[in-house]
């Protein structure tokens, strides 16, 4: 599985813990919201890479990105401003994300997330927060920026945020083979 304390690798100051503060509505009857939150936090914390699907007119595109997140379940990532997916987001902000551990076995108790929402360039405090969380989760990125001659200010311009509207939680360890559908907001 993952670390005992899933908030330990989020880039937060020592002692800070993540508590999901987003308003969640579980669409499945009989599912405990706190148990679903724990599953969301565990999966987000134990995985650092996502796949993001975008659309431009009738053509789809997919990319991978390292990510971090906050207590409102905003998903932050850095994107090359000249990429296909950034061009697609400019025309159509609707995105779909998949977050999962790709080394899970076919016969293991699998888990992962599908996240649907809108993606946009982070601005102001959201940009600062995203960059701070990203550098906290990936401290080696700051070293890479220095080595490449790029600075933090250049990287800030690359911060994008996905604001989830719906999450599908697949958490076999806690819910068996049931897909848990969650509205955010």
Whether residue 15 lies inside any domain: the answer is no
The tally of CA atoms less than 13 A away on the side-chain side of residue 167 is 29
**Domain that includes residue 124, residue range:** 20-184
Residue with tokens 């897909």: 179
Q: Percent of the chain beyond pLDDT 90?
A: 72
Whether residue 10 lies inside any domain: the answer is no
Q: What is the CATH number of the domain that holds 48?
A: 2.30.110.10
* Both tokens assigned to 116: 């649907």
Whether residue 111 lies inside any domain: the answer is yes
Least confident of 11-15, 30-34, 94-98: 11-15
Whether residue 34 lies inside any domain: the answer is yes
Number of domains comprising the chain:
1
pLDDT band (50, 70, 90) for residue 1: very low
Looking at residue 4, what is its pLDDT? 43
Quick: pLDDT tens for 113-156: 999 999 999 999 999 999 999 999 999 998 888 888 877 777 77
Whether residue 7 lies inside any domain: the answer is no
Looking at residue 146, what is its pLDDT? 82
Quick: pLDDT tens for 22-39: 999 999 999 999 999 999
pLDDT band (50, 70, 90) for residue 178: very high
Alpha helices in the chain (DSSP H): 33-46, 84-91, 124-137, 139-148, 152-156, 172-175
Whether residue 87 lies inside any domain: the answer is yes
Whether residue 76 lies inside any domain: the answer is yes
Predicted TM-score of the model (pTM): 0.89
Whether residue 12 lies inside any domain: the answer is no
């Amino acid at each position: 599985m993952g670390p005992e304390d899933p908030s330990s690798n989020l880039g937060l100051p020592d002692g800070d813990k993540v508590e999901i503060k987003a308003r969640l509505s579980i669409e499945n009857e009989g599912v405990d919201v706190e148990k679903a939150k724990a599953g969301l936090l565990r999966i987000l914390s134990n995985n650092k890479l996502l796949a993001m699907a975008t659309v431009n007119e009738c053509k789809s595109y997919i990319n991978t990105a390292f990510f971090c997140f906050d207590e409102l379940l905003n998903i932050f990532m850095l994107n090359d401003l000249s990429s296909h997916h950034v061009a697609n987001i400019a025309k159509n902000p609707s995105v779909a994300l998949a977050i999962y551990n790709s080394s899970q076995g076919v016969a293991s108790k699998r888990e992962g997330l599908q996240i649907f929402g809108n993606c946009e360039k982070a601005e102001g405090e959201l940009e600062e927060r995203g960059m701070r969380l990203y550098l906290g989760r990936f401290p080696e990125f700051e070293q890479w920026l220095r080595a490449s001659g790029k600075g933090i200010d250049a990287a800030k311009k690359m911060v994008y945020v996905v604001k989830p509207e719906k999450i599908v939680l697949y958490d076999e360890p806690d819910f068996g083979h049931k897909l848990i559908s969650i509205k955010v907001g």
